[in-house]
Amino acid sequence: MRSFLEGQMNNENVHRVTGHAGNQYGIRVLFRGDNLLFMENEKGLICTIDAAHGAIFTKSIKQWDSTGKKMSQKERIRVTGLIKKYCKEFYNHAVVE
């Protein structure tokens, strides 16, 4: 999984943006729209989504897949908000959790 994730994190087709605090974010819908790559600086994760219906399955966001570090509830809420924000910006304006 990590080698796949590393390859995706280096993919030139990832939508990249710099946040207001200078953090680097990346987002890309994977496969048939049922997974999503999200990156924050050097960390990355793959979560479950339904791109056709603009749904993010927040229970699939548990850890940073690139480091194996588990997320606290507070961090999961923060990351979910960022995913929602950037999904709206790049893909679907009607994203729901």
Q: What is the pLDDT of residues 39-96, one digit of tens each?
A: 999 999 999 999 888 889 999 999 999 999 999 999 999 999 999 999 888 886 666 6
pLDDT value of position 95: 64
- What one-character-per-residue DSSP string does the chain give? -HHHHHHHHT-TTSEEEE-TTS-EEEEEEETTTTEEEEEETTEEEEEEEETTTTEE-GGG--B-TTT-PBPPHHHHHHHHHHHHHHHHHHT-TT-B-
pLDDT value of position 7: 86
pLDDT value of position 41: 96
